[in-house]
Amino acid sequence: MIAVIQRVTQASVTIEGQIKGQIGLGFLILLGITHTDTREDIEWLSKKIVGMRIFSDAEDKMNLDLKTVNGHILLISQFTLHASTKKGNRPSFIEAARPEVAIPLYEQMIQQLTLDLGQPIQTGEFGADMKVSLLNDGPVTILIDSKNRQ
């Protein structure tokens, strides 16, 4: 499972002209799911995300986590994070999980992030054509791969 975490002051996702989810201060997370991901990946990644200390403290040091700053999460499923660009100019998405595998894992991640954060999170819609808007703060963007824990 790959997560691109962007620290934002605001973010939203629009589907067919309607806002589906929006947040103020927090994380916009793009989540890529592969066919080998498991419940263990979800639990590890969720705890890592919620505990990520990348908000500034009083001394302007990245030292505070989401709960401390009362931040929120907007989670967007993005299969293109598993693109392979090794051959040619057209990416291959063979490593991205098919919907029958990815949808249940995406829904489990929503539940786990909600549990770990202690409040509901905002989401996009799996498989929809989404327009994502954000104001990246910093900018701070961090990539986490649950298969690369070492």
Per-residue pLDDT tens digits for 42-63: 999 999 999 999 999 999 999 9
Residue 137 in any domain: the answer is: yes
- Please identify every residue annotated as catalytic: 78-80
Amino acid sitting at position 58:
A
- What's the predicted TM-score (pTM) here? 0.94
Give, in degrees to the nearest 5, the angle at Cα 141 between 101 and 106.
Answer: 15
Residue 8 in any domain: the answer is: yes
Question: Which token pair is 93?
Answer: 């998405």
Residue 102 in any domain: the answer is: yes
What residues make up the domain containing 137? 2-144
- In this predicted structure, the answer to whether residue 150 has a pLDDT above a threshold of 80 is no
Residue 149 in any domain: the answer is: no
Residue 150 in any domain: the answer is: no
Structural domains of the chain, count: 1
Residue 76 in any domain: the answer is: yes
Long-range contacts for 80-86 (Cβ within 8 Å, ≥24 apart)? 80/32, 81/2, 81/4, 81/30, 81/31, 81/32, 82/2, 82/32, 82/33, 82/34
The domain spanning residue 29 has which CATH number?
A: 3.50.80.10
* First-last CA distance in the chain: 15
pLDDT tens digits for range 15-44: 999 999 999 999 999 999 999 999 999 999
Residue 57 in any domain: the answer is: yes
Stretch 60-77: mean pLDDT: 97
Q: What's residue 115's pLDDT? A: 98
